[in-house]
Structure 1
């Protein structure tokens, strides 16, 4: 089975160097990570394999997702970040939903940013679609692109 079988993805060409895109992902995640008017709060980002990745999202009507707990599986600076919610920190198994792959590649004068969600099965993929993967992740990618480009213009 290929990873793409149960995969959803969004991609954007960002008019900013890869270093700026990386810095926006790492340092400004709470500004782009979820579609507005929702807001994200980074609880902890320990950027190393096995490190904790925890983000909480708040809705405009008081909704609170609670911490979305996971760990980093791979961190290749300026290239790729892989996270999963299949484990909590300390390699504690939990019910998985997806593995996320965030990639950054040079493209022309800018960066090709791709955000991918890999699911364990078709049922989970369909649930993510029903939850609003599109337009949610599309808007997130647009917000990321705009923040990178604003950051590049002021650099």
Structure 2
């Protein structure tokens, strides 16, 4: 957390794979790494452009169903994508929880992956922390890394 973004939570991880490989898995194979096992996600719609729909549904091991609807705020091919749940559908306001930022950058022979959640209010950040942000998002980063590091480029 930085002084400029006091309500931000972040997880970062070095992945021993080239950025192109990490991006491909990160952006196009989300169903394989997006949720910590035993949860899973199904992509409902992704219109990968600013203002485009970003809709998915997460399913838990005990029958939990958690729709995640929002839009892309940014989609910079090969570098990052940014989503929010503050806007849904045809630019309709929704109860905002966070802005999610998933980004990569070259680092040495591999890639630095960083996932961040920016919250409007401190209480939302605290709630997200208590929900298990660090463990959950770190588990997702580990799942992403395992795919990227264990497959040939």
Deviation string 1:90-148 (CA, Å, 9 cap, x unpaired) is: 21110100001111100001110000000001000001011111211110111111111
Q: Which residue does 1:108 correspond to in 2?
A: 108
Moved over 2 A (4+): none
Secondary structure of 1:82's counterpart equals strand
Deviation string 1:26-76 (CA, Å, 9 cap, x unpaired) is: 2110110010011111111111000111111111111111x2101000111
RMSD after superposition: 1.4
TM-score, length-normalised on structure 2? 0.95
Q: Name structure 2 gaps, 5 residues minimum.
A: none
Q: Which residue does 2:117 correspond to in 1?
A: 117
TM-score, length-normalised on structure 1? 0.94
Q: Which residue does 2:93 correspond to in 1?
A: 93
Q: Which residue does 1:83 correspond to in 2?
A: 83
1:12-51 aligned at under 5 Å gives the runs 12-51=13-52
**Alignment length (residue pairs):** 152
Q: Relative to total residues, which structure has the larger helix share, 1 or 2? A: 1
